[in-house]
Amino acid sequence: MFHGFLVFFFLLFSTSKANDGDAMLMLAKSIHPLPPSWSNKSSVGMCANWEGVSCDSSQRVFWIELRKLGLSGTLPLEIGNLSELSYLDLQGNYLSGDLRPLVNLSKLETVLIDSNRFTSIPSNFFQGLAALKYFRISNNSYLSPWNLPATLAKCTRLFSFAAESSNMIGPLPDIFSSLPNLAYLELGYNSLSGPLPKSLAISSLKTLEVNDQEMGLTGTIDVIASMRHLTEVWLQGNNFTGPIPDLSNCKNIYDLRLADNHLTGLVPASLFSLPKLFLLAYQNNKLQGPAPVLPGSIIYDNLENNFCADTGVPCDRQVSIMLQIAGALGYPELLSDNWHGNDACKWGFVACDTQKRNIIMVNFSGQHFVGTISPAFANLTFLKRLYLNDNNLTGPIPDSLTSLKQLELMDVSNNN
């Protein structure tokens, strides 16, 4: 019986070694120009002589490194038979065609295939890659549109994932609670859409780069307020809305890029006290309130927003009141679009008396606003008419509104 086991083990070892040789020979036949030390006629000597190939003591291939060799051609299906492979580096070549499933490569830790010309990635590409830690497919603009698969959640050892400029589309799957080791996520310059997944809040990410999406990610950026490990955040070039959240728990951020979105509301004071913040970009948004004065240690750009006045100039009293009111509604983009400058009497949805320039009417009727009725309305002491009907407002009517002695009409019908 023991003799039979030895025979079986020997046959298995010989078959595995032969499979590696066959797979490497097919790879040699599929790429050109052939590296000088390689052969496309025989795999004999591949472990000892082939450039960029390393084998273990059992003559099994565990390392392939063919970086920046000007290689063209395709990857053969047989590359998926290299079951001891732990490191695959093909970056910076001209390889094309379909990427191959690697479902048998349970020991594969590193896959670097960025800066090539691959044309498709199979939906089951990450299936079975239980040991995967580092994956780069950036700068593969010839790829057919592909989604980040939910099966990536099974790659629980994943540490770094980069797929910039790789024609990735669709929403991000809500899988990040299953990736406790993921520290670097780089997905810029694609066509992602939809919101930032809620599971990002409990991730260990240090770098989050989802910038410059052709379709544009949407929704708020509130989730980043819970991501305490963040150091680098690139959200620029999307369609994010709502205010910048309080980032006082994100004490390690040094690079925060929020430019070219639809962010509204005030710039939170918590940004000014982040101890490591070095670069801050929030230009080309719809931010409101006073233009902040930031510490000299921070490089920043705040152009093209809807601040009430130049840097260092405070907002008018009525402007500040109206911004408090907008805050209770989540700073709707519609209000930011219609509220420019430091004179609230020139704003949309507002009417003033012609002599003393006091706000006498606010009309938010039928704007589909959500949120609550702000007690700050009570500070508009000359208010006569208030239309809040036909929205989606919730909560109570503030008692403070009873102090409005000149109020003649208040319509809150058809709300929640």
User: Structural domains in the chain?
Assistant: 7-301 (3.80.10.10), 317-411 (3.80.10.10)
Classified as helix, coil or strand, 263 is strand
pLDDT value of residue 6: 44
Phi and psi dihedrals of 17, rounded to 5? Answer: -65, -40
pLDDT value of residue 272: 87
3-state SS string for 38-50: CCCCCCCCHHHHC
pLDDT value of residue 50: 97
Calpha distance 150→172 (Å, rounded): 9
Calpha distance 157→204 (Å, rounded): 12
pLDDT value of residue 3: 53
N-term to C-term CA, the chain:
79
Write the CB contacts of 41 (distance below 8 Å, at least 6 apart in sequence).
none
The region, left, alpha or beta by phi > 0 then psi within -120 to 50, assigned to residue 92 is left
Alpha-helical segments (H) within 147-216: none
Could you tell me the pTM of the whole model? 0.92
Residues of the chain with pLDDT under 70: 1-18
Calpha distance 111→86 (Å, rounded): 9
Write the CB contacts of 247 (distance below 8 Å, at least 6 apart in sequence).
224, 225, 253, 256, 268, 270, 271, 274
Calpha distance 380→160 (Å, rounded): 53
Tokens of 185: 């996520």
